[in-house]
Amino acid sequence: MSSPLNFHLEHYDGPLDLLLDLIRKQEINIYDIPIAQITSQYLEYMQKALEMDVELSAEFIYMAATLIQIKSKMLLPRDPALQEIAPEEDPRKELVDRLLEHSVIEKACISIRVGTHLGEPHTSAARFQCLDEPGRVACDCGCGRCAGHAAP
């Protein structure tokens, strides 16, 4: 099994992309994230990025702080009497909600890209098709297969 930290640093558009990738590669249930394990892997990613002199955005640093905060909340003992009066919400809930929302948006973007490549109407109502002509400027769809796009 390959390590979940075998990745290209420039692959991630933001911290939620990285977290989703770590979760997916290890086939972790998103509703039961082992926060200590994921936090450790996330921080290792940040360390590798710094060693490679990759500048991380504030979003990545903020997410690291968020993960550490969640981890510390989960380590604190809970008072059973207080739990009966006011049950405490899982500290991972907000993160899980954000990851699920990001995943839905990510899938929608992929659907739009695939539709564009299949000649389906683009969101702007324009139609595009992939061209494999040498010398064309690469498109920004991110698929890695296109030499360029042109409107028919």
**pLDDT (tens digit, 9 = 90+) per residue, 54-80?**
777 889 999 999 999 999 999 888 888
Is 28 inside a domain boundary? Answer: yes
Quick one: DSSP state of residue 118? T
Is 38 inside a domain boundary? Answer: yes
The number of domains in the chain is 1
Is 25 inside a domain boundary? Answer: yes
Mean predicted confidence (pLDDT) in 87-102: 91
| Number of neighbouring beta carbons within 10 Å of residue 20 | 18
Is 132 inside a domain boundary? Answer: no
Is residue 92 predicted with pLDDT exceeding 80? yes
Is 134 inside a domain boundary? Answer: no
Is 24 inside a domain boundary? Answer: yes
Is residue 89 predicted with pLDDT exceeding 90? no
Mean predicted confidence (pLDDT) in 13-30: 91
Query: What is the pTM for the complete model shown?
Result: 0.62
**Summary mean pLDDT of the chain:** 74
Is 3 inside a domain boundary? Answer: no
* pLDDT the model gives residue 150: 38
- Which of residues 83 and 121 earns the better pLDDT score? 83
* pLDDT the model gives residue 120: 53
Q: For residue 115, what pLDDT band results from cuts at 50, 70 and 90?
A: low
Is 103 inside a domain boundary? Answer: no
Write out the H or E segment, with its range, that includes residue 91. none
* pLDDT the model gives residue 117: 56
Give the domain range for residue 28.
9-92
- Contacts of 50-55 with CB under 8 Å at 24 or more apart are 52/9, 54/9, 54/10
